[in-house]
Structure 1
Amino acid sequence: MMRGSEKDVIPFLFVLSSLFAYTCFKGLQIAPAHPYIMFAGTSVFFALMISSMFISRNKPDAFEAKWFMVLTWVGSLFMGWWGTFIMISIPIDIVHFVFSMFKDGEFFIGPRGYTIILALSALVTFLGFVEVLRGPKVVEVDLPIKDLPPELENLKIAQISDLHIGPTIQSRYVNKVVKKTNATHADLVVITGDLADAHTEPIKKHLRPLGELQSRFGTFYVTGNHEYYWGVESLLPELKKLGFELLINSNRILNIGSAKLLVAGISDPVGRSFSEEHRPDLIKARETQEKTDFNILLAHRPDPYVNAEKYGFHLQFSGHTHAGQFFPFSLLIPIAHRYYKGLNRHGKLWLYVNPGTGYWGPAHRFGIASEITLLKLSKV
């Protein structure tokens, strides 16, 4: 009988081999006269694209090596190029297949056409990389709240989400995020998960700038799914040292004048595989004996919005979706999530979904800029 970890490997290998086979097929469409060259080229391309991921997981001591940094950046850019090309190609190939069922002969896109698509994908990837280099932009959002206590009027909340500190997002980028966040003069900072994307030891110095985040009431943090993939047990103590308020199915009540603001957080659902303590528990996170005037929920994924409204939360901050991160993936994200970007209203609950302050995988944000959100409460 196979163990759980072995069962997880089989679907991963199936998906990986399927993507490899489809990429070989695309290579043959571009250069049908050179099948062996295209197979060899595809193999090298795939190796460069994914090898750094396996190395960073199994050899964390290689993290600071120059060769590893070069390999990681090459892999990240190749992945963005490949992902853009594949996502544009799939619908074209589907149309091609359907067309060929009803009419004999070649489809209107031949080797030259696919070469042009490959070149356009490279241009889109380059522009997406330029957007990454610009860093996150600050997006200001005014939120009108009925019957808002006067003491909470103009309260400013800065949100950071999906920063993914790791092989390509390091101190330079993190310093830029901290500087821009501090410039908002927020009353509190919330971080809604996927903060780290590597083992804790190699990224300690890249986490350190986050300790410089400044706000009136502090920095509040909830876990995302990626923290559990890399060892949350070593990450959380480091975040405590930086002064973060860790909200693992818990809350803090802030006294602002005579008003009481509740800030609660739930762990990501992946946490249930880590420990029972990290199984998301909205009831426990909401639990308090005090009467509060305004209730905020931090949840990495937008999904808890239904129960968040039910348990009396007024505002939820989430991330996770990246809003698709780049075109054309951004066209598919509405299929997976009802609320996937920006400010949304669900019944009495306001939900803000940050599209990501960093990026995951490809250094590519064409059409979907990275963001630091500054949300200000105002009275209707």
Structure 2
Amino acid sequence: MIKDIMIRLILVLSFFFAYTCFKAIQINPLHQYTMILISFVFFASMVSSIFINRSRPEVFKTPWFMILSWVGSTFMGFWGTYIMIAIPIDIVAVGYAFFNHGVSFLTSNAHFGIFLLALCMTVFGFISVVRGPKIVKVNIPIPDLHPSLEYIRIAQISDLHIGPTIQSRYVRRVVEKTNELDPDIIVITGDLVDAHTESIKQHLQPLSDLKSRHGVFYVTGNHEYYWGMKTLFSELRNVGLTILENENKIIEINGSKILLAGIPDPMAGQLGESFRPDLKKARFTQIKTDFNILLAHRPDPYSLAEEQGFHLQFSGHTHAGQFFPFSLLIPLAHKFYRGLNRHGEMWLYVNPGTGYWGPANRFGIASEITLATLTKTS
């Protein structure tokens, strides 16, 4: 099975590399071999940084790996943008040529123009990454909300992806911005890490400075299971995170009770059936509660969550596509993929990511720390 996966991966990478070289030659047809060499160097940096991060954790802190990671991540941002623009144009060009005796409407200037457009979009997307997350404030209107819970503020962090290019400095900025919101509760909805625990242990430490009146609560995303969970959980508990795995905590505020439940990502099932997300188990309590909140990395359980009596769900995972034009495709995969959404009697907020994954590019989709405030509606 692993052999089959590797063969498919090599075939996919080979196709994209060949297409990259093809497009590079179109940009500068007078220097074909130079363009192929440049394509190879950047494509190799993009792919190798990912594989090295997984297979050789001992090099994580070396200067050459950090440079390789940034070069690979930045090029991935450009490459993804350029490919997503170029492929549909090429499809149209092939159709045009088919009906016009092989004549293409794409000139060398047009190819270079597409290149410049993708480059400009990537630069602005990279600037957005460097600026870090913006604060998005949203009111959650709740009918018949208990008066003592009105104006309760919940800060959400999601998809931080601490790893080769998101480290202590970025994490500290997230912590500082979150603390400035003076939240009552802080929730972290998965994909917190993207490297082996030992590699990023020091970069988790700023999380210990997160401050809220009633705690910091965390559920796993899919990426945590790509790197191993045994050492990660102990480190997260050391920095003060309360991990919710098919369980809940009752938070009492001014005499009212909030049930805050969390389920692991479905990837937890690879550890065994007992680790799979279980909404009923997460929701179960014999205590009468006034408001029920679910933390789930993926937005997918919204229908079952509403059936279980949750009033509000916080999720992430989608990155809202992370950058244009990938953002155009995300509605094909998720009904609810960004911002505040309503399903039946339940609200669902999907955070587009406080960090980023892979490409250092957030063109058109800024990273975000969310501050949700409960408000009462008549």
The answer to whether TM tops 0.5 is: yes
Query: Among residues 157, 162, 165, which one is paired with 1:165 in the alignment?
Result: 162
1:10 pairs with 2:7: yes
Matched to 2:17, the amino acid is: F
Aligned pairs, number: 377
Greater mean alpha carbon deviation, residues 344-353 or residues 49-58? 49-58
**Residue number among 137, 140, 153 corresponding to 1:140 in the alignment:** 137
Give the equivalent residue in structure 2 for 1:371.
368
Aligned-partner Cα distance in 2 for 1:37–1:106: 27
Match of 1:337 among 330, 334, 338: 334
Q: Deviations over 1:230-288 (max 9, x none)?
A: 11221111001111110111111111122110111111111111233321111111111
3-state SS of 1:373 partner: strand
1:128 Cα deviation from its structure 2 partner: 0.8
Q: Do the aligned partners of 2:96 and 2:105 also contact (CA within 8 Å) in 1?
A: no
The question of 1:109 aligning with 2:92 is answered no
Give 1:183's match in structure 2, choosing from 167, 176, 180: 180
Over residues 54-88 of structure 1, what are the superposed CA-to-partner deviations in whole Å (9 max), with x where a residue is unaligned?
A: 11111111111111111111111111111110000
Aligned to 1:289: 286
Name the aligned partner's letter for residue 250 of structure 1.
E
Identity of aligned residues (%): 62
Measured against aligned partners, the alpha-carbon deviations of 1:293-340 in whole angstroms (never above 9, x if no partner) come to: 111000001101110111111100000010111111111111111101
Tell me how far apart the structure 2 counterparts of residues 218 and 118 of structure 1 sit (CA, whole Å). Answer: 48
Give the alignment of 1:13-162 within 5 angstroms.
13-162=10-159
- Equivalent in the alignment of 1:278: 275
Q: Which residue of structure 2 aligns with residue 327 of structure 1?
A: 324
AA matched with 1:326: F
How far off is 1:33 after superposition?
4.8
Unaligned runs of 5+ in 1: none
Letter in 2 for 1:128: G
Distance 1:309 1:11 in 2: 39
Report the TM-score, using the length of structure 1 for normalisation.
Answer: 0.96
SS at match of 1:378: strand
1:203 to 200, 203, 210: 200
The CA deviation at 1:140 is: 0.5
Equivalent AA in structure 2 for residue 143 of structure 1: I
RMSD: 1.3
> d(CA) in 1 for partners of 2:85 and 2:325?
7
Moved more, 347-356 or 96-105: 96-105
The answer to whether the Cα contact below 8 Å between 2:27 and 2:115 also exists between their aligned partners in 1 is no
Residue by residue, what CA displacement relative to the aligned partner does 1:181-232 show, whole Å, maximum 9, x if unpaired?
0000000000000000000001111000001100011000000000000112
Which of residues 304, 315, 325 is equivalent to 2:312? 315
Would you say 1:356 and 2:348 are equivalent positions?
no
| SS across alignment from 1:361 | coil
Structure 2 portions without partners, runs of 5+: none
Is 1:243 aligned to residue 240 of structure 2?
Answer: yes
Among 206, 214, 236, the alignment partner of 1:217 is: 214
